[in-house]
Structure formats: structure tokens, C-alpha cells
A and B are shown apart, each in its own frame.
Chain A
Amino acid sequence: MENIVGKRIREERERLGMSQEELALAVGLGNRSQVNKVESGARKVDSLELRRFSEALEVPMDAFFDEARGEVLALARGGGGRDHMTDWGLELLSDMEFAEREVTRHGW
């Protein structure tokens, strides 16, 4: 499987303007080389670690598996810094997908 999670962690970290060192500290991963390994796909993360990444980077956990979201964010970065309205919209799009999928799946 492609290194989507690592790539997405890097995208979200860069959007926050956070260094690998700072992220390592925030998630309790020891030092920046561990974060570097996660981002490059050389080290896998377990679910507890992913949760800590999610809290430190202020995004829901499923956002790490959503490659399209990464592409959208990469474009939003043009404006500089984290964009609250874009984040809000991405969450809504994600909920819209969920609601449509579940209603269709159950035939409601």
C-alpha cells in the first residue's frame, strides 16, 4: 500500500507550520527522526499513535487516509497558514459523503 498516512501527516504538519521536532514532542515520539521515518513510510504507526497525531495536528483520524483531502489542502495552502473555512468545508463534505453512503446502504 502506498504511504498515504505518512504523506498526509507531512501535509498537515507543514500546513500548521510545525517542524518535525515539534511534532515529535507533541505526539511523544522521541525525536524528529522518528517523525521523519513515519512521514517517509519507513515506520508504521499504530492506532494510539495515530490518535495522538490527530490531536496534535487538529484533524480527525480518517483525514489521514483521505488522499483527495490532501490534494485539496495542498491547494488551499496557497493562501498561507491554516484556513478555518476550508477545514470546516472539508469536514462537511466528509459528513455529506457519510450520510449519503449510509442512507443508500440501508435503503432509507
Chain B
Amino acid sequence: MDGEPRLTPPPWRQGEDAALALRHRLRLSDGPVNVWEVIRRVGVALALEDFGDEGGDGRYLNKDGRALIIINTANRVSRQRFTAAHELGHHEMHRHTQRNLVIRDDDVLARTNDPLEKAANAFAGTFLAPAAGITERLGDKRNKEVSAEDVASLMGDFGLSYEATVNQLKSAKLINEPNRLRLLEAGKGNVEWMLSEAGIDEAKLFPAKHPLPSDYVDRVVTLWKHRHISDIRFAEMMRLSTADAEAYRERHGITQPELPEYDRAAAQKLLKELS
């Protein structure tokens, strides 16, 4: 309405609303989700690659309407999943802001005043561990009754990092700020130990199965089978060394059909007809 101020919800609210809306759209329960699968379902290409410890967390690219999320696999799996959900949040909330867009996320957990980043973090937390889901799993415990071991157990349920789980408990209003700080302190240097005590193998929690989008891989294989691309180009397109690409083809039984034997007489006959 003209002249009336518009009330824009704060970024965290935008993120939470968008996360719950997506869960609703995909008919997901309040429980844990496989974020890799969800990214594929919403039509975004996903690529995982080791960019090293200093390589940053992830990127969201949208070029001419084609969206791509890249995740650095040098990080812990729980952090990879949080980054993936964070980039998914950018896709859900920010892809329409510009036709061509790249969002560079070197450290998704760093404190920031950028409203886009705040919204994407709120999206990630709520999407991976909605308040209703963690409340149900935590039972009646609140504030100081919540222990670091409880946090580790929730990590196993929802596949979030320790820090992200603690932050999500605060967002869900299950703990207050002093208890958030207490739990963060209690987790320092103890996360690995607590996870092993609880029998949780982080690497096995919802691991991403394919480093490259599977429809892309299928197309590359098709092009190679038809001899449309060389062995070297196949390796390049698969982001593998030529030796690894060959091993990949062997492992998956990918072969090219035999070429027909050269028939000299038939070729000469054809040439004659053409001339």
C-alpha cells in the first residue's frame, strides 16, 4: 500500500521461514534430512571437491539460470552438510536477486552482519535441525540440564557440527545465552571423544555419494562411448587424472563398442557412387 512502511522480517526469520517452507514443500517431517538428496530434488547441481584446508567452505553459483553448489570436502562432514544447507538457503532465498550470481562462502560459521549470510545460516540450522525435531529428541531438558553429551547425541541425530547444534538449541529457545556459551566451552577439544563415546561415526552420517552431478556424469560417459570425446577429455570432464579415469571406467564396466572392420571394397564402391 502506498505510503505505508513495509515490514521486512529480520534475516534470521527469513531464513527460518524459508527453511520450514521448503521442508513443507518437499513433505519432509521434522526429523533429520539428507541435504545432498534435497539439493538434487530442487534441481541444483552439486559438486564436491577437495580444495584444501584454506580453500573455503563452499560457493553458490547461478549462471544463466543454471545453479551449482560447490562444497569443499577438506572440511569435516558435519561442516560440509551445514555449508550445503547454507548454500541451499542462498538458492531458495537469493537466486532471484540477480541473473548471474556467485556467493563466496569462505567461512560460513564466522560472525557476520551481512543479512544474506545471516539468513542463509538461519536457513541451514532450521532446515537441518528444526526446532520441533530437536525439542522432541531432547525431551524435557532445558538450559543447564542440557549437557555436552546431549549435544553430541543430537549431532548424531541431525548430522550438524557441535557448534551449529549448540546454536540451533539457542535458536529453538531450548537454552539461553549463558548456557550456549557454557556448552561451547564444554565442547572445546572434546567433540571427537564425545562422538566416539556415543558410538557416532561422523563420516558415516549422511555422506554425499557422488562428487559430481550424476546426470552430468551420465552424459560424459555417453559422449565417450560414442567416441565424441577423447580419453583425455573424458578425464578432464570427470575431474580425474587419466589413470584414475581409466580405473573409473573399468570399475563401472564402461566400454566403447568395437568399431566395424574396415571394408576396402565397400568403401571403394561408396566412393564410386558418390563421385
Contacts and interface: CB of A to CB of B under 8 A. Distances in A.
Interface of A: 68-69, 71-73, 75-76, 78-79, 83-86, 88-90, 92-93, 95-97, 99-100, 102-103, 106, 108
Interface residues of B, number: 34
Nearest to A66: B63
A90 B106 contact: no
Nearest to B51: A85
Nearest to B71: A85
Chain A binding site: helix, strand, loop or mixed by DSSP? Answer: helix
B237 interface: yes
B46 to A, nearest CB: 11
Contact of B226 (A73, A92, A106): A106
B258 to A, nearest CB: 18
B61 interface: yes
Contacts of B121: none
Interface stretch (B30-38, B94-102, B148-156, B266-274): B94-102
Given A76-B104, A99-B237, 10 more contacts: A68-B100, A72-B100, A72-B102, A73-B102, A85-B51, A86-B102, A92-B70, A92-B239, A93-B66, A95-B220
B104 A90 contact: no
A90 B98 CA distance: 17
Given A76-B102, A86-B104, A103-B222, A96 B61 contact: no
Nearest to B58: A85
- Most chain B beta-carbon contacts within 10 A, residue among A69, A73, A95, A97: A95
A90 B45 CA distance: 12
A75 B212 CA distance: 24
B26 interface: no
Contact of B63 (A68, A83, A84, A103): A68
Contact of B59 (A86, A100, A106, A108): A86
B213 interface: yes
B246 to A, nearest CB: 19
- Most chain B beta-carbon contacts within 10 A, residue among A79, A85, A88: A85
A93 B223 contact: no
B82 to A, nearest CB: 17
B64 interface: yes
